[in-house]
Amino acid sequence: MPAGEKIKICQQCGTCTGSCPTSSMMDYGPREVIAAFRAGMIDKVVKSNTIWLCTSCYSCTVRCPAGIKITDLMYELKRLGIKYDLLPKDTRNPAMTRYFIDNVLKYGRNHEVGLMARFMLAKDWSMPFNFAGLGIKLFTSGRLPLLPKQIRGKEEIAKMTAYLDAQEAKLQ
Partner 1 sequence: MRYLYYPGCSAESTGMAYDISTRALMEKLGVELVELDDWNCCGATSYFSVRELDSFAIAARNLAIAQQQGDEDLCVICNACYTTLAKTNRYMADSPHVREQVQGALKAVGRRYDGTKPVRHIMDVLVNDVGLEAISEKVARRLTGIKVAPYYGCQYSRPIGSFDDTEDPQTMDRFFEALGADVLTDFPAKLKCCGGMMMLTNATGAVRLCHEILKSAEDLGADVIVAACPLCEMNLEGYQPNVNKAYGTHFHIPVMYFTQLAGLALGIDPKQLAIDKQVVSCAPVLAAIPA
Question: Which residues here bind partner 1, judged by CB under 8 A?
Answer: 1-3, 21-22, 25, 52-53, 55-59, 61-63, 69, 71-72, 75-76, 78-79, 82, 91-94, 96-97, 100-101, 103-104, 108-113, 116, 119, 127, 130-131, 133-134, 137-138, 141-145, 149, 151-154, 156-157, 159-164, 167-168
Beta strands in 5-163 (DSSP E): none
* Minimum CB distance to partner 1, residue 82 (Å): 7
> Residue 2 and residue 113: Cα distance in Å, rounded?
35
**Shorter beta-carbon distance to partner 1: residue 31 or 78:** 78
- In the bound complex, what is the minimum distance in angstroms from residue 170's beta carbon to partner 1? 11
Shortest Cβ 128–partner 1 spacing (Å): 12
- In the bound complex, what is the minimum distance in angstroms from residue 74's beta carbon to partner 1? 9
- The b/e string for 106-132 (b: 16+ C-beta within 10 A; e otherwise) is ebbeebebbbbebbeeeebeeeeeeee
Q: Which is nearer to partner 1, 66 or 113 (CB)?
A: 113
Q: DSSP secondary-structure letter at 27?
A: S
Whether residue 100 contacts residue 110, with contact meaning beta carbons closer than 8 Å, is answered with: yes
Select from 69, 87, 70 the least CA-distant residue to 78: 87
Q: Which is nearer to partner 1, 13 or 39 (by Cβ)?
A: 13
Query: Torsions phi, psi of 22, nearest 5?
Result: -115, 5
